[in-house]
Amino acid sequence: MHALTFSRFGGPDVLDWTELPDLRSAPGVAVVQTRAIGLNFADIYRRQGRYHLAGSPPWIAGYEAAGEIAALHPDDSGGTWRVGQRVAFADSAFANAEQVAVPLDRLIALPDDIAFDTAAALLLQGLTAQFLVEDSHAVQAGEIVLAHAAGGGVGLLLVQLAATRGARVIALASSQDKRSAAIAAGAAHALDSREGWVDQVRALAPDGVDVVYDSVGRTLHDSLASARMGGTVVFYGMAAGDPEPVDPRVLMDRSLALVGGDLWNVLTSAQARQHRATRLFEAVRDGRLQVTIAARFPLREGAQAHALLEGRGSIGKVLLIP
C-alpha cells in the first residue's frame, strides 16, 4: 500500500508518497481500504510539529475516512462486521493511507445511499456540530445564536443545525465568500469577523445573544461581551491562539455560563458513534443538512491539499482520494 507520510516537520513540501507493507487484521481490528479521506487542521498541526507524535518517522497523519472492510481477523468473523462492508470512521489514527487498521469499536456502518465522499466530509465536523447544538447548549427555537468561523467546516454545519432547530443565527466569517456561504446555510445575518463585529452584533441583538459558539480562542472576551445576561458561551477551539484568562467575576456579575465543548467526552462507545452518525445521515438524507466539499485531491498530491486548507481560503471540506 501507499501512504502520505512525513519524516520531518515543516510546510506541505515535507510530505512524501511512500510505499509501505500491506496491513494485516488483528483481533478487534479491521483493515479498511479507504475510498475518501477527510483532511483536518489537526493534520496540518501534526505536520508542523505542534502536536506530540508517538513512534518514529515516517509518520502518517489523519483520522477520518470512509471505505470498505478489506480484512477481518478470524476471531471477528461472523460478528457485526463483514469483509466488503461499507464503513467510515472519525477517530482512528493513520488515515492518510490506502489502508488503515481501525479498531472495530471505532467503525461506523455506512448506508448505501451515503457516498464515501459525503461520509468523509461529514463525520468529524458534523458530529462536532451536532454535539455543540445538542449537548454543550441545547439550542431552542427562537434563540439567537452567534457562530464564529461560520464559513468553516464545523461552522457551516453548526449554522444549518442551529437554524433547523428554529434559532436565528448570526454568522461571523472573514471573507465575503464565507459570509455568503453562511447565509446560504441558513444564517439570518453574516458579519465580517475582522473588525467591529461586537457592536454590530449588539445592533442586531441589543440585549445580547443567547449563545455564542467560539472556536477562535482569542475572541473569548468579546464573545462573553456579546452574550445576554444569563447567556452562554461555548468555547470549543483555539484557531487563533489561547484566550486571555477569564475573571470568574465577569461570569458572576452577568450570570453568564462559560462551557467547554469537546466531542470526545460523549463519543465514548461504539453505540454512541453509530447512533449519532445515523442521525447525521438522516439529516443529509432528508435535506436538513448539506455537505460542502471544497476540493478533492489525489492522496499522492496531498501537499496541494494541505496548502489549500492551510491558506484558510477553502469553504467546506477538503478531501484526499486514494
User: Burial letters for 250-268: b for 16+ Cβ neighbours within 10 Å, e otherwise?
Assistant: eeeeeebebeebebeebbe
**From CA 160, how far away is CA 167, in angstroms rounded?**
10
Residue 187 pLDDT > 90: yes
Residue 228 pLDDT > 90: yes
Residue 86 pLDDT > 90: yes
Please enumerate in sequence order all residues whose Cβ is within 8 A of that of 159, keeping only pairs 6 or more positions apart, or say none: 147, 150, 169, 171, 182, 185, 186, 187
Residue 136 pLDDT > 90: yes
Level-2 CATH architecture, domain 141-260: 3-Layer(aba) Sandwich (3.40)
For 60-77, write each residue's pLDDT tens digit. Answer: 999 999 999 999 999 998
Domain boundaries, the chain: 2-122+266-321, 141-260
The gap between the terminal CA atoms of the chain, to the nearest Å, is 10
CB atoms within 10 A of CB 122: 30
Equal fold, 2-122+266-321 vs 141-260: no
Residue 201 pLDDT > 80: yes
In this prediction, residues 158-184 reach a mean pLDDT of 96
**From CA 27, how far away is CA 265, in angstroms rounded?**
26
Residue 253 pLDDT > 80: yes
Nearest-CA neighbor of 304 among 17, 95, 2, 8? 17
Query: Domain spanning 2-122+266-321 has what CATH number?
Result: 3.90.180.10
In this prediction, residues 175-195 reach a mean pLDDT of 95
**From CA 78, how far away is CA 95, in angstroms rounded?**
26
Q: Minimum mean pLDDT among 92-101, 259-268, 296-305: which range?
A: 259-268
